């Protein structure tokens, strides 16, 4: 007997992805199982908010690091209350999309309804970006991956966003407190924060965000476009298995339950089989 799976996220000043996020997860898991927190009564709601469980909450002004911890703690506590009704709870940022490898010919819902010996699953992180020379501005009405060809294999976005029991996520959902992670061989976490350069730079240049501690993060992220422009991509299928092994085996001493970054950027061409999924 298959059980429902819940999807949880929160956003502020990031409605750009919200309707795509709602549609993607709603079609797979059912709109009634999506829980979206809108951080601030001043925030605009997604057009499809009426289809899901959407909650506006009072915004608390905090520095970036403290806000990230607060968000992870709030969602962790909320997710705990969804058990045992749900088989699993997925928590992520609004610009993150978990995909199952199309070669499996299985839905993400059916796949996650299997029995796993792990308390969580991570998808291999793919940081998708707009090539600043060869790719045009994103059309929100079309499939995202039909318009983008490149991604960086990323330790940062190889996140344990799938939980099978009540757990405590760390800041940004990058780790689970006190627990190890398992990178599933069939799951990919596509991060779309850089998928449209114009939109990304509108955030990078947002003085309100920069004043709350985002400036150094945005500066680092803006340099990623240079990697897309200057590195030669490798076919993703040539590196996926190697990346999973590397991220599983390499950890920083003070961050044993998160993957360590690769020594050099690994720019890949996204395999065509993913193009029409999101």
DSSP three-state, residue 233: coil
Each residue of 47-60: pLDDT tens digit?
A: 999 999 999 999 99
Residue ranges of alpha helices (H) inside 141-257 are 197-204, 207-209, 215-222, 224-230, 236-249
Number of domains within the chain: 1
Q: What is the pLDDT of residue 210?
A: 82
Q: 78: part of which helix (H) or strand (E)?
A: helix 64-80
Give the confidence band of 224 by pLDDT, cuts at 50, 70, 90.
very high
Tokens of 145: 């991956």
**Helix, strand, coil percentages for the chain (3-state, nearest 5):** 35, 25, 40
Q: What is the pLDDT of residue 214?
A: 80
Which residues constitute the domain of residue 48? 5-274
Tokens of 181: 């992670």
Q: Which pTM value belongs to this model? A: 0.96
Q: What is the pLDDT of residue 165?
A: 97
Each residue of 61-86: pLDDT tens digit?
A: 888 889 899 999 999 999 999 999 99
């Amino acid at each position: 007997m298959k059980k429902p799976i819940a999807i949880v996220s929160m956003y502020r000043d990031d409605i750009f992805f919200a309707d795509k996020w709602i549609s993607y997860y709603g079609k797979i898991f059912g709109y009634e199982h999506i829980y979206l927190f809108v951080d601030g009564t001043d925030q605009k709601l997604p057009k499809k908010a009426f289809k899901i469980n959407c909650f506006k909450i009072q915004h608390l002004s905090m520095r970036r690091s403290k806000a990230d911890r607060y968000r992870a703690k709030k969602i962790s506590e909320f997710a705990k209350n969804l058990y045992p009704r749900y088989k699993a709870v997925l928590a992520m940022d609004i610009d993150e999309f978990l995909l199952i490898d199309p070669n499996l010919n299985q839905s993400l819902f059916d796949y996650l309804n299997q029995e796993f010996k792990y308390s969580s699953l991570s998808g291999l992180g793919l940081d998708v970006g707009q090539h600043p020379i060869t790719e045009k501005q994103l059309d929100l009405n079309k499939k995202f991956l039909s318009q983008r060809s490149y991604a960086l294999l990323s330790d940062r976005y190889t996140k344990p966003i799938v939980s099978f029991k009540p757990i405590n996520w760390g800041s940004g959902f990058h780790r689970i407190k006190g627990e190890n992670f398992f990178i599933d061989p069939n799951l990919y976490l596509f991060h779309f924060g850089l998928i449209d350069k114009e939109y990304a730079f509108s955030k990078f240049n947002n003085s309100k965000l920069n004043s709350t501690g985002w400036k150094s993060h945005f500066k680092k992220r803006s340099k990623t476009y240079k990697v897309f422009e200057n590195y030669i991509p490798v076919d993703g299928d040539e590196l996926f298995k190697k990346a999973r092994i590397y991220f599983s085996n390499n950890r920083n001493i003070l961050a044993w339950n998160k993957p360590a970054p690769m020594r050099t950027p690994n720019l890949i061409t996204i395999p065509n089989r993913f193009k029409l999924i999101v």
